[in-house]
Amino acid sequence: MSSKKQALFISSLVILWYSSNIGVLLLNKFLLSNYGFRFPIFLTMCHMSACAILSYFSIVFLKLVPIQAIKSRSQFLKIATLSVVFCGSVVGGNISLRYLAVSFNQAVGATTPFFTALFAFMVTLKREAWVTYAALVPVVAGVVIASGGEPGFHLFGFIMCISATAARAFKSVLQGILLSSEGEKLNSMNLLLYMSPIAVLVLLPATLIMEPNVLEVTVSLGKEHKYMWLLLLINSVLAYSANLSNFLVTKHTSALTLQVLGNAKGAVAVVISILLFRNPVTALGIGGYTITVLGVIAYGEAKRRFR
């Protein structure tokens, strides 16, 4: 592939990754807060169902990557553990969107590097250079400032959002530990293929217990709003597209590039959500979020320089 074609291909992947991530985030908010569809666990189950079906199609039929088999019971238990933690992070994030504006949700989500560094130290006792830890101070300080300036601050929504962020960071640390063995290592697409059905099995009883009237209300909303089922389908496909494009962008660039793009994606999502949902923002809130993003950028740069 020529350099010009490769650059065009990577640019297309980045656009797909941006549009998928921002699209699923905004649709989640729209469905959970503005559409009367108040079932975050069922919504997550729809996402995982789409990931299971489309992962199988992409690997078995499209052959985007070779299929990797699960080789042992131990490996299966590790994958199941990751799946449960992943479920917790996605469900927590979806629940938080019922109570928080997307802009504030993204500000809190930007603290993921702080929790990743914390869990990496607690679980593996891996130490970073002091400069790297110092860069995490503005990451946390910015969210504290943004919380004080958030007009629609909701304590339960904030707790769910911070819990989802911590779970997402814990999952990345666990993934590095549990699947680091050469004999058990899976690429991201195969990992998603095996994690998704397990997630559905975990989320199904949780949905039936915690959201018992979900089918009745969803069918009713589907009759009332003719685009309800279409939005739910698009939302679920976008969830898979976000995971697929995440894998492809990482494969064709680097994890550091993905982190930089993620920082920019969060800022873009904030601007779009404010324009779409018209949620009030304050100068203090914007300032806090800016400090957090700058802290994340400094953290990434410190990790690169002081490995």
Average pLDDT in the chain: 86
Nearest Cα to Cα of residue 269 among 37, 95, 19, 54: 19
Spatial separation of the C-alpha atoms in residues 28 and 270, rounded to whole Å: 14
Residue 34 burial (CB < 10 Å; 0-12/13-18/19+)? exposed
Q: What is the pLDDT of residues 260-289, one digit of tens each?
A: 666 677 777 878 888 887 788 888 888 888
Burial letters 79-90, b for 16+ CB under 10 A, else e:
bbebbebbbbbb
Spatial separation of the C-alpha atoms in residues 298 and 292, rounded to whole Å: 10
Q: What is the pLDDT of residues 66-106, one digit of tens each?
A: 999 998 888 899 899 999 999 999 999 999 998 998 888 98
Mean pLDDT across 190-215: 94
Give pTM, 2 decimals. Answer: 0.85
